Amino acid sequence: MTVVILLGPPGAGKGTQASRIAERLGIPAISTGDIFRANMAEGTEIGKQAQAYMDRGEFVPDSVTNAMVKARLAAPDAAGGFLLDGYPRSVEQAHVLRDMLLDLGKPIDVVLEIQVDEDEVVARMLKRAQEQHRTDDTEPVMRHRLEVYHQQTLPVATYYVDQDLLEVVDGSGSIDEVTARIFAILDSVAKN
Ligand code: ADP
């Protein structure tokens, strides 16, 4: 399995699961949020463009995001496949990704949607705020990110259901429990 997409609300634990899945499949985990944060830390042009949007919990404009993803997917370490975490986040981005993958000749193998209830997600983000001091982890910004997730990203799940690519993962319980559920899904998808 070489092209895997991870969907789920902010605070669902995507980052943690992404690195475990990537390790198991031997592919890089590509997180748009992480790439933006690294660019902000380094003070690059992309970082400067992204900062204000991220701090408000808004999407960074597609012109910036899509170009950044396209460049990242062309890097040598992505030649054998990749896991995408945080992209696509809208149906428009899903369409752009479809074209990028057509160009690369790589179909999507599976889309995993981690589902966690809203109270749990807010509790996890508040905990993360204390540990990591992310500037977008304040409660009003978190709530806004969740709203944007419902409006923009849930339709992406439907888009992939229609293509018979979506697998829903119960994101409740411990990190290891969620990983075990994901690995079971990956095994069953690989067999089919
Ligand atoms: P979370 O999963 O907690 O929302 P991320 O690290 O995935 O955190 O994303 C943090 C922020 O980075 C988003 O709120 C948004 O501003 C920006 N971002 C990440 N991915 C995208 C994307 N695909 N399109 C637009 N903005 C994005």
Average pLDDT estimate for 70-92: 97
Active site residue 143: no
**Is 128 among the catalytic positions?**
yes
The tally of domains found in the chain comes to 1
> For this structure, is 24 an active site residue?
no
Are 124 and 13 in contact by the 8 Å Cβ rule? The answer is: yes
Relative orientation angle of helices 32-42 and 45-56, to the nearest 10 degrees: 120
The boundaries of the domain holding residue 175 are 2-190
Ligand 1 midpoint to CA 58 (Å):
8
Ligand 1 pocket residue status of 145, Cβ below 6 Å: yes
Average pLDDT (75-102) is: 97
pLDDT in tens, 21-58: 999 999 999 999 999 999 999 999 999 999 999 999 99
Residue 91 has pLDDT above 90, yes or no: yes
**Predicted local confidence at residue 42, as pLDDT:** 97
pLDDT surpassing 70 at residue 1: no
Provide the pLDDT for residue 49.
Answer: 94
Catalytic, out of 24, 70, 134, 143: 134
Do residues 121 and 66 touch, judged by C-beta distance below 8 A?
no
β strands within 59-151, DSSP E: 82-85, 110-115
183 Cβ closer than 6 Å to some ligand 1 atom = no
Whether 181 is catalytic is no
pLDDT in tens, 56-77: 999 999 999 999 999 999 999 9
Distances in Å between the Cα of 8 and the Cα atoms of 28, 86, 89, 146 are: 19, 8, 10, 10
CA 94 to mean position of chain CA atoms: 12
Place of tokens 């419902």: 150
Whether the CA torsion 94, 100, 102, 106 is positive or negative: it is: negative
Q: Model-level pTM?
A: 0.94
Of 32-46, 88-102, 118-132, the range with the lowest mean pLDDT is 118-132
Identify the CATH number of the domain in which residue 59 sits.
Answer: 3.40.50.300
Given the CA of residue 31, which atom of ligand 1 is nearest to it? 7
pLDDT at 79: 95
Q: Is the minimum distance from the CB of 57 to ligand 1 under 6 angstroms? A: yes
Q: What are phi and psi of 86, to 5 degrees?
A: 95, 5
Q: Is 90 in the pocket of ligand 1 (CB under 6 A)?
A: no
Residue 149, pLDDT > 80, answer: yes
pLDDT for 122: 86
Looking at residue 138, its pLDDT comes to 83
Contacts of residue 21, Cβ cutoff 8 Å, sequence gap at least 6: 4, 6, 29, 83, 112, 182, 186
Instruction: Check if the beta carbon of residue 14 is closer than 8 Å to that of residue 24.
Output: no
Q: How far is the CA of 37 from the centre of ligand 1 (A)?
A: 10
- Atom 2 of ligand 1: nearest residue by CA position: 10
**Index of the ligand 1 atom closest to the CA of residue 58:** 16
**Ligand 1 contact via 12 beta carbon (within 6 Å):** no
